[in-house]
Amino acid sequence: MAKLAIKRVYEPASSSDGQRVLIDRLWPRGLSKEKLGDVLWLKDVAPSAQLRKWFGHKPARWLEFRKRYFSELKKNGDALSPLRALMKRGRTTLLYSARDAEHNQAAALAEYLAKPSHK
């Protein structure tokens, strides 16, 4: 499978990004679709609104957030199909808007996709 990268959506695009995929349920504040350019928005792979609000980007809830998010992904496996297809074609960069580079849905999703049992 092709290399998967993670990047904050507010960082400038780079030619090394490959296909850029926004995985937030809500469109990022202050960014126009024109400014983001050729970005695919897969909001159905983002955590549910309920889970996102519960998590609140609190690192103390990270482990439980991952468990709950992975459970959502398992139940909604079809939503991952477009993302998996992109990854087979080449480098793919998951874009997220959270400020925390370590505790966000892109980091969790990349971990989920890397597990052989979830392929």
Tens-digit pLDDT string for the chain (119 aa): 458 999 999 999 998 999 999 999 999 999 988 888 889 999 999 999 999 999 999 999 999 999 999 999 999 878 999 999 999 999 999 999 999 999 999 999 999 999 866 65
Count of structural domains, the chain? 1
For residue 100, the one-letter residue type is: D
**What domain range is 38 assigned to?**
4-118
Residue 1: its pLDDT value, please?
44
Residue 76: its pLDDT value, please?
87
For residues 31 and 11, the answer to whether their CB atoms sit within 8 Å is: no
For residues 21 and 105, the answer to whether their CB atoms sit within 8 Å is: no
pTM metric for this prediction: 0.91
